[in-house]
Chain A
Amino acid sequence: MAEQESMVPVAAIVCFLLGVTSLILLNRSKNRMWMDRLAGYMLGWCLVFFGLRYAAVSVRDTSWWQAADITSQFDIFQYLFFSFTIAAFAIVAIFPFIYPYPIFQKSSTIKLVAPVTFFLGLVIVISMMLTEYKYVGFWQILFAPSFIILIPIYFRFLSEEMLEGDDTSRRMSLAAGIILIAFFGQQMTWWLAQLISINDEFVARFAIEAGVGSHSYVPNWIGYTVTNSLGTIAILSLAAGETWRANKKGINGFTIVIFLILGVGLISGIADFAVLDIVDSCMYTVCESFPESYNIWYKFTTEALLLLFTPLMVMYILLHFDVIDSEAEQNQWMTRIIVILMLLIVSSTMIELLQSFLPVSSMISSAILAMVVAIFIGWEERIMNALIGEGESISKKLSSLNELHEPDISESEIQLFSKAMGVLTAIIFILCFLYSSIVS
């Protein structure tokens, strides 16, 4: 069996490219409402931060860096990895207050979004740096607002669609559901393991493998427990909602995605239960390695969902819900290129991964890739129509319900978010460079 290559460098390229393109396209979409523009900037910068995070891991894994004589506990790329992760988490914490149903609608609170995200990110980045990232896992609780806000939105609009026959409500519940998957996708694939409470054995093993220090693990484990539990309830809630909808309106793409994740979580839970002896070996004997088949399963499910499909979901939100003005002539060619490029990168990565453990010759995998390219070119129009043509703006729906305030807020005040994140990026780079030089 060939050694499986990491998906992380591909994720770095996909996230960074998509993030930068989104920001460029948003700058050309001046006619969008404030919530679309602010949400677009937030998602764009979140993708950029995730891209930089994965890039730091990728560079650190190169033979060039491995050959370097690093004696300190952390090197610059580890500082960058943790810092950009925290910066992305800060955006994730604020995002549900803006999209798809803005909780912050007053101009005074909207103006606070940029400085609050900036300072929240900066304070956590610095405090974690000074405490050597011992408690970085705790900050996963920043995902909690997404669950608390998006679940009521999903059920409100799903109920309106089902009980009151308002088909336009679907775009709201769909947006809330996709954002929940984008934020909790990884944890959703562990739903059964969390439900039968065996994830604690995994976190204990990983703590022992990493070398248990003298500091408390409680803050980190609070973070993991909160996200794992919320992710579990999120997928079960979405499954319940989509089953209800499928019974009345039939199955659609989103229903299939939900049941796929549910199925993956079911199989993963059984697999996790089967390897518990191996997990516990760390505590009672010596750490044994997981079977190769178990690692392959997680690579193709949880890891692929997190690294490859989450950026695609964000792209879907940006395009399908008209956050970006993809209809504008100057945006069309760039949108088309980026969509096909993203789909091709992800498809070719999956084919390469399959080839790494299936006895398929490179000739056959090349032929499969050629077929995928042909399908994407042939169906380019259809794919773009599915993404853009049926675009349904969230802000227009809320406006039609008279539930969206249109405050007096200028373009420069919206763009302040982008400027603040640009400054945060620069500060993170300087801090990481200086701090890693000082402690090494």
Chain B
Amino acid sequence: MSSTGDFSEVMSSITSNNAGNKFTLASFIAALILLSYTGYDTVIHRTDIISDFAEDNQYRITFSTQNETMQEVETLQDDETTNIQFDLSELSISEGYSIGLIEVVITSEEEEGISVQCDSVAGDIIENDLTAQWNDTSNDLSGQDSSCQPINLKLRVYPNYDGETITVLAINEYQALQNWSQTGWGLGALSLDLDLDVNSPLGFDFGNQDSDEEITVDVTVVTFSVSIEEI
């Protein structure tokens, strides 16, 4: 008898072998079981996890700071230039803290007054192998004063650190903190050049009495730790 090609006839031919049907049934049941638990894992469980990544979360990052200070007093002769090194490895930085920036204050002993002519003092932070943001626009690497005012210098060490609270968008806390968990910044020594140019009152220095100056250099190393909260 030749086939008529009816759908029912075709299906009954395919399922005409009992042993074959048992294997087929076992395969189909196994497929259904596998589909149900892998389907749950993928479509339900993973969808919950992935939904956290659909949009970036907003995090507020705040900085707690601790300051470490170093001081050096130098007496400079007229027209003398001297270099001072501050080895940052001598600092005891607390666990979990990183060096954010370095502030330098240069003060001379003279005080401005009617009879006093202030000496000219200059200070320069010298670029060396200290790991810091040497090309940051917020740096003040050079300063000069002849009015008995302190000279303030600043070097940013950690990228983008200014101590202000910031808000970031990220998919998780780890990635939000990624920019603030770098290591290796602030290794080395801070090198500072000091320069003195004595100015005598009215241009006269009787008996060569004002030929030197005591200059105090205060270095404040600002260290920070971060804390994060989802907004």
A185 to B76, CA, bound (A): 82
Residues of A within 8 Å of B178, CB to CB, are 286
Complex formed: what's the CA distance from A394 to B47 in Å?
45
A230 within 8 A of partner (CB):
yes
Chain A residues in 8 Å Cβ range of B46: 200-201, 203-204, 221
Residues of B155-176 whose CB lies within 8 A of A: 171-172, 174-175
Residues of B1-31 at the interface with A, using a CB-CB cut-off of 8 Å, are: 1-7, 10-11, 13-17, 19-21, 23-24, 27-28, 30-31
B114 within 8 A of A: no
**A229 touching B35 in the complex, CB below 8 Å, given contacts A203-B46, A208-B53, A221-B46:** yes
| Contact flags A105-127 to B (C-beta < 8 A → 1, else 0) | 11000000000000000000000
B45 at the interface (CB under 8 A from A): yes
Distance in Å: Cβ of A56 to nearest Cβ of chain B: 28
B119-165 contacts to A (CB < 8 Å): none
Answer yes or no: A64 CB below 8 A from chain B CBs: no
- A194-B34, A224-B42, A286-B174 as given contacts; A153 in contact with B14, CB under 8 Å: yes
A75 and B185 CA atoms in complex are apart in Å by: 43
Known: A151-B24, A221-B47, A241-B23. A105 touches B10 (CB 8 A): yes
Say how far A400's CB is from chain B's closest CB, in angstroms: 11
When C-beta atoms are compared, the residue in chain A nearest to B7 turns out to be A103
Contact A155–B42 (Cβ < 8 Å): no
Chain A residues positioned under 8 Å from B45 (CB to CB) = 200
The minimal Cβ–Cβ distance linking A164 to chain B, given in whole angstroms, is: 8
Q: Within the complex, which residue of A103, A106, A147, A225 is in contact with B38, where a contact is CB–CB below 8 Å?
A: A225
Is there contact, CB below 8 Å, between A200 and B41? Answer: yes
Q: Is B55 an interface residue (CB 8 A)?
A: yes
Specify the chain A residue showing the minimal Cβ separation from B15: A152
B37 adjacent to chain A (CB < 8 Å): yes
Name the residue of chain B whose CB is nearest to the CB of A283.
B49
CB distance from B36 to the nearest CB of A (A): 9
Question: Which one of A102, A200, A229 lies within 8 Å of B10 (CB-CB)?
Answer: A102
Q: Counting CB contacts under 8 A, is B39 at the interface? A: yes
- Tell me if A240 is interfacial: C-beta within 8 Å of chain B: yes
Q: With the chains together, A199 CA to B196 CA distance in Å?
A: 71
User: B231 contacts the other chain (Cβ, under 8 Å)?
Assistant: no
The answer for the CA separation of A232 and B33 in the assembled complex, in Å, is 12
Q: Tell me the bound Cα distance from A201 to B17 in angstroms.
A: 40
Contact between chains at A199 and B38 (CB < 8 Å)? yes
A174 to B19, CA, bound (A): 18
How far apart sit A383 and B17, CA to CA, in the bound complex (Å)? Answer: 35
Main secondary structure of the interface of B (DSSP, over half): helix
CB distance from B37 to the nearest CB of A (A): 6
CB-CB < 8 A to B202: which residues of A? Answer: none
The answer to whether A207 has its CB under 8 Å from any CB of chain B is: yes
Is the C-beta of A313 less than 8 angstroms from some C-beta in chain B? no
The yes or no answer to A402 lying at the interface (CB within 8 A) is yes
Bound-state CA distance A152–B21 (Å) is 7
Query: Do B47 and A156 have beta carbons less than 8 Å apart?
Result: no
Q: Which of A222, A225, A406 has the most CB of B within 10 A?
A: A225
A369 CB, nearest partner CB in chain B, Å: 42
Interface contact A195-B42, CB-CB below 8 Å: no
A237 contacts B27, CB within 8 Å? Answer: yes
- Tell me the smallest distance from the CB of A96 to a CB of chain B, in Å: 11
Shortest distance between the CB of A380 and any CB in chain B (Å): 38
A337 within 8 A of B: no
B53 near A212 with CB under 8 A, answer yes
Q: For residue B45, which residue of chain A has the nearest CB?
A: A200
Asked whether A152 lies within 8 Å of B54 as measured between CB atoms, the reply is: no
B23 touches A159 (CB 8 A): yes
Q: Given A152-B15, A217-B50, A200–B6 Cβ distance below 8 Å?
A: no
Q: Measured between alpha carbons, how far is A140 from B98 in the docked complex, in Å?
A: 51
Let me know if A233 is at the binding interface, CB within 8 A.
Answer: yes
| 17 cross-chain CB contacts under 8 A | A103-B7, A151-B24, A152-B21, A155-B20, A159-B17, A160-B20, A195-B34, A197-B37, A200-B41, A207-B50, A212-B54, A213-B54, A218-B43, A233-B27, A233-B34, A283-B49, A404-B3
Which 4 interchain pairs have the tightest Cβ spacing? Answer: A405-B5, A105-B5, A156-B20, A200-B42
- Chain A residues within 8 Å of B, Cβ to Cβ: 101-103, 105-106, 147-149, 151-153, 155-160, 162-163, 194-195, 197, 199-201, 203-204, 207-208, 212-214, 216-218, 221-222, 224-226, 228-230, 232-233, 236-237, 240-241, 283-286, 401-407
